[in-house]
Chain A
Amino acid sequence: MDFRFTEGQQDLIDAAKAFFDGENTIERMRKTVAGEQVSNLWPQFAQLGLLGIMAPESAGGLEQPLVVMAGIAEAAGYAGVSEPYVEIAGITVPHAKKGELSGPIQRAMLSDLRPYIDASLAESGEVVNSIDPLRNLVKAKDGNDENAESANVHGAILTAAQLIGLSQRMVDMSVVYAKDRHQFGKPIGSFQAVKHQLANVYTQIEFTRPIIHLAAIKGGAAVHNAKVAAIDTAMLASETAIQVHGGMGYTYEVDLHLFMKRAWALCGEWGDRNYHMKRLEDYVLNGDAELGPGQTFN
């Protein structure tokens, strides 16, 4: 099995990342939270081909596999993009009917695994406030779309990818802070009590990414594995990042909370930890999994 992105795919992911990081600045996030007018990114998503990443070529899309979308979702997570871009491009579009793809799609897939959806994707619904101040949610209608099972897989994988992007952002912010902040006459980042915690998070991130990509390529139990691993990574990242930032990390003024809150919000979307853990347990212990050394030739 080959996980490597082709040069073209990597270029696509890099371009998306540059766009997200360049446009969705901290300043823009702060303005959004304050309810001020901010730039509309949707025309640019469309123009750059980002909406049609997974759409068939016949509909003008790039027809890329889910694993490429996972790479882009990680970048969106890192930048803290609050528009439901990943939802549209990675979940709704690939499950849309042929006719729908000719116009802009503004709806969310219905699934019992995701009880709240972005308000911009629903015609109506009871408003729900999120712990993430950048998300405007409404209660989703009960029930499942006919493609809900596949949407659940896309949702879990792309949420996991966003979570490790967010985790990496929190690590990067913490590294910058730990180099700058001095105590006992030294940068706190030189102390093992601080640097070892960040090393742990970074290790988790690097080891979680391949299983997310595997899940995107092969599906199956790897999907549950990926979501659980990403949740654990994101929880460890946020717990560590706030500790490294000390009291400042608890303030509204320091930007860390914007990313922590997004991570906490996404942990429960498209199947929370208990949901995926239970399925993983059943897979391993109820006879589906082939165990032992002869069984890993895939």
Chain B
Amino acid sequence: MTLREEFSQWMTENFRGEYECLRGRATPGDEDAFPGKRLEWERELGKAGWIGVGWPKEYGGRGASLDDIVGFNEEYAAHGGPGRAGHIGETLLAPTIIAFGTEDQKAKYLPGIKAGTEFWCQGYSEPNAGSDLSNIKTKARLENGQWIIEGQKIWTSLAMDSDYIFVVARAEEGSVGRHGLVFLLVKLDQAGIEIRPIKQMSGTAEFNEVFFDGAVCEQEDIIGGVGEGWKIAMALLGFERGASTLGQQMTFADEFRQIVELAKKNGASQNPLIRQRIAKAYAGLKIMRFTALRTLEAAETGELTKEGYMSKIYWASWHRDLGELAMDVMGASAETLEDGEFNKLQKLFLFSRSDTIYGGTNQIQRNIIAERALGMPKEPRGGGTVIKG
């Protein structure tokens, strides 16, 4: 039995009953749904060994190939599995610890991620470090064997459900930009940390502000050395190679199917302009799928592909357009709230307004594509500070 088949069978047998309420839920835009149940579901996955399938065997993973990881993600989505509360720990932090962490860190942090009992969130963005991400002001200073952290992070997804946060902070007094940073592993449940949810226009609150006022972690709770924080932070982002993108596309496919069903039902599918937009959306979905598959194949052979720079802007723009298509297919009723709340397609429209912003705006993505993939001259940077690197 392939890993895909094994997992599909496991999902059929286990994703039911008390977990039925999670079907198709907790996707981006809906991440605050059933928090308690979701964390329980993560423990089910962990118990059965379905967290960290791609990790090396020596760290408790299955050492699965990229093909198998793709199969795993697709089956998960096809069975309607809910958005994964543990994905930041599992797919971003764990590979970073495996690559750059100490043996002690591996022993201390990997088991909780693998068991689905400890959750992580990402402390990168700050109020004044958004597109200009290296303009980090949160400070960390070493005192009596502990790091003392002062400052603020923002747009921290799932902080409310997390146990730990990894924080990029400025450790060298007077340093600017990418220099002098440190990558800290910090427990959230402590006196020096306050988490405040940010209510979004969709009415939900997946993002948070995290305030650090004398928060602490131990001296050894850093990955890499002092001054290597930027390097580690960027390496972490590099571990997202797109296997989960294919799972995300299954969610998109499901949204698309709902839009087509509605268009057929309410007659919008007779409108030639709507027909063309539906066909375009379908084309884009297929294009993303086969581009992602090709990128993954290349990743397996260790080739570097430029698609990596481009997938974010492509899917974000596609999904934004899908949200607009959903509203147009609903027609006049798009304005009204049946049952007094947003329906699924209205939620899709609202949340997809953020797709082209979070994780690097479309504009920042275009800078990266133009400068790194096309080799165009760097943008003149303001502020009088020239940061090399």
Compute how far the CA of A251 lies from the CA of B206 in the bound complex, rounded to whole angstroms: 54
Give the residues in chain A near B369, CB-CB below 8 Å. Answer: 199, 202-203
How many pairs of residues, A versus B, come closer than 8 Å at their CB atoms? 145
CB distance from A223 to the nearest CB of B (A): 12
CB B298 to nearest CB in A, in angstroms, measures 8
- The smallest beta-carbon distance between A288 and chain B, in angstroms, is 11
Residues of B within 8 A of A (CB-CB), count? 51
Judging by beta carbons under 8 Å apart, are B276 and A281 in contact? Answer: yes
B287 and A207 within 8 A (CB): yes
Describe A's contact surface by its main secondary structure.
Answer: helix
User: Is B371 positioned at the interface, with any CB of A under 8 Å from its CB?
Assistant: yes
Residue ID in chain B nearest A291 by CB atoms? B257
Does chain A have a CB within 8 A of B98? Answer: no
Given contacts A4-B297, A293-B254, is CB(A207)–CB(B371) below 8 Å?
no
Tell yes or no: B367 within 8 A of A by CB: yes
Query: Are A225 and B287 in contact, with the CB atoms below 8 A?
Result: yes
Give the residue of A3, A4, A203, A213 whose beta carbon is less than 8 angstroms from that of B310: A203
Interface residue B198 (Cβ < 8 Å from any Cβ of A) = no
Q: Return chain A residues, CB-CB under 8 Å to B263.
A: 285
Contact A281 to B370, CB < 8 A, known contacts A196-B363, A198-B376: no
A208 adjacent to chain B (CB < 8 Å)? yes
Whether A199 and B286, one on each chain, are in contact in the complex, defined by CB atoms closer than 8 angstroms, is: no
B257 / chain A contacts, CB cutoff of 8 Å: 291-293
Q: Are B294 and A179 in contact (CB under 8 A)?
A: no
Instruction: Find out whether the CB atom of A211 lies under 8 angstroms from the CB atom of B286.
Output: yes
B313 touches A203 (CB 8 A): yes
Distance in angstroms from A281 CB to nearest chain B CB is 4
Chain B facing A: main interface SS: helix
> Does residue B366 face the partner (Cβ distance < 8 Å to A)?
yes
Q: Range of interface residues on chain A?
A: 35 or more
Interface residue from A175, A196, A229, A294 paired with B283 (Cβ < 8 Å): A229
Across the interface, do A190 and B379 meet the contact criterion of CB distance under 8 Å?
yes
- CB of B366 within 8 A of CB of A285, answer no
Asked whether B302 is an interface residue with its Cβ less than 8 Å from the other chain, the reply is no
| A167-207 vs B, Cβ < 8 Å mask (1 yes, 0 no) | 00001000100110000001101111001101110110011
Contact: A206 with B376, CB < 8 Å? no
Shortest Cβ distance from A298 into B: residue? B289
CA distance A136 to B283 in the complex (A): 34
- Which 3 A/B pairs are nearest by Cβ-Cβ distance? A195-B370, A292-B257, A293-B250
Task: List residues of B whose CB falls within 8 A of some A CB.
Answer: 74, 77-78, 249-251, 253-254, 256-257, 260, 263-264, 269, 275-276, 278-279, 282-283, 286-291, 293-294, 297-298, 301, 306-307, 310, 313-314, 363, 365-367, 369-371, 373-380
